[in-house]
Amino acid sequence: MCGIVGGVGPSILAAEVFEGLKRLEYRGYDSAGLALIGTGGVEVIRTACGRHSLDDLKGRIDELTPGASLVIGHTRWATHGAPTLENAHPHTDCTGRVVLVHNGIVDNFRELRAEVVSHGHELKSATDSEVIAHLIEEELAAGMEPAAALGSVFSRLSGHMALVAAFAQFPGSIFGIRRTSPLLVAEGDGRSFFASDAPAILDVATSFYEMPEERVIAIGKLANGAAGVSTLTPLAIDWASQDVELVGHQSFYEMELSQEAGAFLDTVSSLIDEGGGAVVDELKVDPYELKRLRKVTVVGCGTSYHAGLVGRFLIEHFAKVPVEVDVASEYRYRDPILDDDALVVGVSQSGESLDTITAVKGAAAAGARTLAVTNVIGSQLSRLSDTVLYTRAGPEVSVASTKTHLSQIGALALFAIYLGELKGHIYPEEAREARNSLRKVAAAIEVALERKRGYEEKLAPFVGTDRFFFIGRNLQYPVALEGALKLKELSYLAAEAYPAGELKHGPIAMLDSEAVVVALVPRDRLREKVLANIEEVRARGARVIVVAFDGDDEAATLAEAALFVPEVRPIWSPLVTVVPLQVMAGAVARSRGLNLDRPRNLAKTVTVE
Ligand code: AGP
C-alpha cells in the first residue's frame, strides 16, 4: 500500500526522507516520488519503474536543490490509474504551489474530478489524489489559510485515507490529516516527521505521537488553524532502527523466520508473571465482564485469520466458550448477532488492515466488547478496541508473515487460559501449568528452525512441482491453510488446503501423480484418521510429504519425505508443525528464482478494502 514520509526542520535532507521510503518498500509499491520546498518553490521528482522505482529515484535526488527544510516522499501502490509517471505522487495543483501525497481511496472522486474539471483545472493524472490538490487550490484562492483549506477539502472526501500536504508560502510546516489510514507523527534532533509507520523513521526520530483522525495537524512551525505536536498523545514505541535491518540473511522472510522462537517467547513471557500467573494489567477489561462472556468471535485476514482459527480451538478447549472465526472482509458485511455478552477479537499484525478495523468497529457499534491482538503499539486497531494484547515480535518487514503468526497464537492461547481460569473451567494450578508448558514450546520451535537445512534437502525433489495440497484435521487445518497461503504468496503456485476428511467429498478428483500432498499428522487423537486419509491419497498416485512428530516412523513410511518436528502437547502442535511449511514456501520460491521479500501484487499492510 502507499507509503508516506515527510520531514521538516533544519538540515532535513531529501536523502533522509528517501531512506524512510526505502524502509516502507516492504509495504509494496510500484512508483515513487519526492518533493521539497526550496527557495524557488515546489520541486518534484517522480519515477515509475515498478519495483525498481526507488533505485531510480535514488539516482535522481541530486536533481533537487540542496538545503531545503521541508521534504515529502511517497511510494505508490496503484489504485486509481496505472502505475505511470503521471500518476506517481507527489501531486500538485495548477499553480504548482500546493503539493501533496495521499494513501487510501477517495470514494467520491468521480464527482469531485468532474467538478474541478468543470472549473477549468487541468488534471495531469488519472488519480483521485490529484483532485485533492485542485480542490485545495480553490479554497486558497477563496482566501482560506492552508490548514483550513486542507480541513475543508478533507471533509468533502469520502473514504479512508491519509493526506500530507505542503504549501509554497509555508516552507516551514507540513500539514497532515487522516481517516482510518495509518499515519503517525514523530520528532528527533529538532526535526518533525509524518510517516505511515514507525519503521520508516526509526533512525531519525526519538519520540512518536498518535495522529488523531479528522484533525489537521501541522508539524514544524505552528500554523493558523492547525494543532501542533504538543497536543498529541505520545506513543511508547521501543523498536530500534537495527530491528529493521537485514543482517546475516538473504531476505527479511528468512531473517524473521529465524527469529520466530524468540518472538514467540518474548510475547508469551510478557503475558506470564514469574509465578506462572497471567499478566492481566495488559488486559484492561473488567474480569467480571469477561466472566460473563457467552460468545467470542475472532476476525482477521490472511495469516492473522489463520491464527484466529487456531485460537478458536484454544478458547473452546480452555474456556468452553463458543467461538466463531470469520474473515474480516466477510464479517463486516454480515448481520452478526451481538450484544455485550459477546467479545469480538480482531487479530492483525499491523493493526492497520482496513478490513479488520472496520469489522471490529462494526462489532463495537453493535454492542460487543472488543479486543485487539496486534504487534504495533498505537496502531488503529489497538486504539479503537476496548483492550489490547500486544504480541512482542518486533517489527515485521517481510510481506509474508512468519514470526507474528506464532506470537498471535501465543497471545490467543494465554487469553484462552485466562478466560478458562476466570470462568472456573480450569483450576489456577492447571492454568499455571498450561502457561509454563506453552512457554516451553519456544524450545521446540527453535529446534524445528535449526532443522531448516534438513527440511530443504528433503524438499529438494519436490520444488519443481506446481500443484500442492495441504491437509490436516482440527488444529492442523489452519496450519494447512497457512502452509498453502505461504506457498501461494511466495511462489505463485496453485496450493490448496483442505480438512483431511473433506478430500473425499470432491477435491480428491484433482489428485494424480503430478500432485504433491503435504499431510499434517502430529501424534494427536486424529492421527489414525489422517493416516487413513494419506492412504487414500497414495491410492490415487499422489506424492506425499508428511509433517510428523519425532519418531513417528509409521507416518514416515507412508510418505516420500517426512519433515519431523519435536513433539509438544497436541494442543500446542500448530506452533511447531507450521515451521517446516514456512521453510518450504521459502525454499520453493527461491528455487524458482523469486525474491522472497517482493512477492508480486502484494502489499504488507492492506489499507484499502
Ligand atoms: C501474510 O503472510 C500475508 N501477507 C497477509 O495474509 C496478512 O496476514 C494479512 O494481510 C493481514 O495482515 P495484518 O495481520 O497486518 O492485519
Range with the poorest average pLDDT among 22-36, 117-131, 256-270? 22-36
**Stretch 9-24: mean pLDDT, rounded?**
88
pLDDT at 336 over 90: no
Residue 301 in contact with ligand 1 by CB distance below 6 A: yes
Residue 599 lies in a domain: no
Are 427 and 536 in a shared domain?
A: no
Residue 408 in contact with ligand 1 by CB distance below 6 A: no
pLDDT at 100 over 90: yes
Q: Which residues are catalytic?
A: 2, 604
Residue 199 lies in a domain: yes
Round to whole Å and give the CA distance between 169 and 509.
Answer: 68
Domain at 10, CATH number: 3.60.20.10
CA of 121 to the centre of ligand 1 (A): 40
Are 512 and 438 in a shared domain?
A: no
Residue 606 lies in a domain: no
Round to whole Å and give the CA distance between 192 and 210.
Answer: 13
Round to whole Å and give the CA distance between 199 and 592.
Answer: 30
Choose between 337 and 608: higher pLDDT: 337
Residue 399 in contact with ligand 1 by CB distance below 6 A: yes
Q: Which of 304, 404, 609 maximizes ligand 1 atoms within 8 Å of its Cβ, making it the mutation to test the pocket?
A: 304
Looking at residue 101, its pLDDT comes to 97
Q: Which of 77, 253, 257, 349 maximizes ligand 1 atoms within 8 Å of its Cβ, making it the mutation to test the pocket?
A: 349
Residue 379 in contact with ligand 1 by CB distance below 6 A: no
Measured CA distances, 10 to 173, 194, 205, 221, 413 (Å)? 12, 16, 14, 11, 48
Single out the residue in 200, 222, 244 at which a domain terminates.
244
Are 367 and 486 in a shared domain?
A: no
Question: Grid coordinates representing 115?
Answer: 467538478
**Stretch 381-401: mean pLDDT, rounded?**
94
**By three-state DSSP, how is residue 355 classified?**
helix
**Stretch 228-239: mean pLDDT, rounded?**
90
125 HSE (CA, 13 A, CB side): 27
Residue 303 in contact with ligand 1 by CB distance below 6 A: yes
pLDDT above 70 covers a percentage of the chain that reads 100
Indicate the residue type of 27.
Answer: R
Residue 342 lies in a domain: yes
Round to whole Å and give the CA distance between 360 and 346.
Answer: 6
Atom 9 (ligand 1) nearest CA: 302
Residue 230 lies in a domain: yes
Looking at residue 240, its pLDDT comes to 82
Residue 490 lies in a domain: yes
Question: Tens of pLDDT along 468-503?
Answer: 999 999 999 999 999 999 999 999 999 999 999 999
CA of 302 to the centre of ligand 1 (A): 5
Are 337 and 313 in a shared domain?
A: yes
Number of domains composing the chain:
3
**Stretch 536-552: mean pLDDT, rounded?**
97
Are 441 and 457 in a shared domain?
A: no
The atom number, within ligand 1, closest to the CA of 401 reads 2
- Residue 603 gets which letter from DSSP? -
Atom 7 (ligand 1) nearest CA: 302
Residue 402 in contact with ligand 1 by CB distance below 6 A: no
CA of 412 to the centre of ligand 1 (A): 17
Contacting residues for 358 by C-beta, under 8 A, at least 6 apart: 180, 328, 332, 609
Single out the residue in 193, 211, 244 at which a domain terminates.
244
pLDDT at 572 over 90: yes
Atom 3 (ligand 1) nearest CA: 400
Which phi and psi (to 5°) does residue 161 adopt?
-165, 165
Atom 5 (ligand 1) nearest CA: 302
Residue 438 lies in a domain: yes
H, E, C per residue of 263-274 = HHHHHHHHCECC
Residue 304 in contact with ligand 1 by CB distance below 6 A: yes
Are 431 and 552 in a shared domain?
A: no
Domain at 330, CATH number: 3.40.50.10490
CA of 305 to the centre of ligand 1 (A): 8
Are 496 and 439 in a shared domain?
A: no
Claim: this prediction has a pTM higher than 0.95? no
Round to whole Å and give the CA distance between 350 and 375.
Answer: 6
- Residue 231: how many other CB atoms lie within 10 Å: 11
**Stretch 227-250: mean pLDDT, rounded?**
88
CA of 350 to the centre of ligand 1 (A): 8
Site of grid cell 509495504: 27
The parent domain of residue 180 ranges over 3-244
* CA torsion, ordered 38, 42, 48, 49, to nearest 10 deg: -10
**Stretch 501-506: mean pLDDT, rounded?**
94
Residue 400 in contact with ligand 1 by CB distance below 6 A: yes
Are 222 and 364 in a shared domain?
A: no
**By three-state DSSP, how is residue 470 classified?**
strand
Are 52 and 132 in a shared domain?
A: yes
- Residue 170 gets which letter from DSSP? -
**Stretch 406-435: mean pLDDT, rounded?**
96
Residue 499 lies in a domain: yes
Are 300 and 419 in a shared domain?
A: yes
Round to whole Å and give the CA distance between 267 and 349.
Answer: 13
Are 537 and 584 in a shared domain?
A: yes
pLDDT at 376 over 80: yes
95 touches 599 (CB < 8 A): no
Are 370 and 266 in a shared domain?
A: yes
423 touches 552 (CB < 8 A): no
CA of 446 to the centre of ligand 1 (A): 23
Question: Tens of pLDDT along 163-189?
Answer: 999 999 999 999 999 998 899 999 999
Question: Tens of pLDDT along 271-303?
Answer: 998 888 888 776 777 888 888 899 999 999 999
CA of 170 to the centre of ligand 1 (A): 39
Single out the residue in 183, 214, 244 at which a domain terminates.
244
